[in-house]
Structure 1
Amino acid sequence: MKSIRVIMLLVSTLIVAVSMSAWSQPGQTASAPASATGASTMAASGAGSPANGKKANRTLRRKVYAAIGKHKEISAGNISVIAKDGAVTLQGTVTDASQIGQVAEIAKGVPGVTSVINKLTVQKPFGDM
């Protein structure tokens, strides 16, 4: 019984020690102010840029969705847009073969899009095998 308590005490002490030495994530405030060298290292490594990159990617993806949505003849419900650093990938299905190129041209016209990878296919109607 005493050995179990000792083990539990050691494990809980280890958990507390590890949690106290954990680093704060970018964008979170730390309880103690960062040293000048730590702050300059973080700024030099660009640790804050991935969050800005993700935000820019989400914004670009939304702009492409909005541009496609302006064209009522295109059913955008089955189209997936992935944006990464200006490169846009279109995946999913459209109802007509002519819409494949049309959706790609719409995406290319969105400001911030540097390239478009078109993986759209034509949706087969039910019953066709």
Structure 2
Amino acid sequence: MKGNKGVRYVLLLAVALAAASVQAQGSDTGDFSASSAPSAKEVRAANRILRKAVLRTLSRTRGLNVDRVVVVAKGGSILLEGYVPESNQIDLATSAAQAVPGVTMVTNRLIVRAEGL
């Protein structure tokens, strides 16, 4: 499944970042290998995968209209911005996004605005 593949990439990135952090904290020699940290390209790719996973989950959530919702992913943090037609959809979007593997924090800036406005 494509969805599981994306989740694996995100989890692999999280493990790699955690390992690099542990190595950096435990190293007294100051010798850091550039290959231990993910490249900017790998970080962007992981962010894209996580963003798509969150969008997919939001679009499949019953009772949630994501036509005017924008998702931004940075690390494990997710930012939800845009408009929803009913106030109960704000909490629904937050809980759906938090349920996606790899998401560590959700910032919700959704606003209620009736459709057509």
TM range (shorter): 0.5 to 0.7
Whether 2:90 is the aligned partner of 1:90: answer no
Is contact 2:86-2:112 (8 Å) kept?
A: yes
State the partner residue of 1:40: none
State which of 79, 99, 102 in structure 2 corresponds to 1:109: 99
Which position in structure 2 is the counterpart of 1:29? none
The structure, 1 or 2, with the larger RCO (C-alpha pairs under 8 Å, 6+ apart) is: 2
Q: Percent identity?
A: 34
Q: Match of 1:50, as an amino acid?
A: A
CA distance in 1, matches of 2:70, 2:45: 18
Corresponding residue SS for 1:96: coil
Q: Residues 96, 110 of structure 1: CA spacing in aligned structure 2 closer, same or farther, 3 A cutoff? A: same
Query: Is 1:57 aligned to residue 47 of structure 2?
Result: yes
Structure 1: stretches of 5+ with no match in the other structure: 1-42
Deviation digits for residues 24-50 of structure 1 (CA, Å, limit 9, x no counterpart): xxxxxxxxxxxxxxxxxxx62778610
Indicate the residue corresponding to 1:69 in structure 2.
59
2:46 counterpart SS class: helix
Question: C-alpha deviations, 1:74-107, integer Å up to 9, x for none?
Answer: 1111000000001000000001000101100000
Once residues 67 and 126 of structure 1 are traced to their aligned partners in structure 2, the CA distance between those partners, rounded to angstroms, is 24
Structure 2 residue 109 is the aligned partner of structure 1 residue 119: yes
Root mean square deviation, CA, Å: 2.0
How much does 1:124 deviate? 3.5
Larger Rg over CA atoms: 1
Corresponding position of 1:80:
70
CA–CA separation in structure 1 for the residues paired with 2:50 and 2:116: 34
Residue type at the aligned position of 2:109: K
- For structure 2, the residue ranges without an aligned partner over 5 or more in a row are 1-32
Matches within 5 A, 1:24-63: 44=34, 49-63=39-53
Deviations, residues 5-39 of structure 1 (Å, cap 9, x unaligned): xxxxxxxxxxxxxxxxxxxxxxxxxxxxxxxxxxx
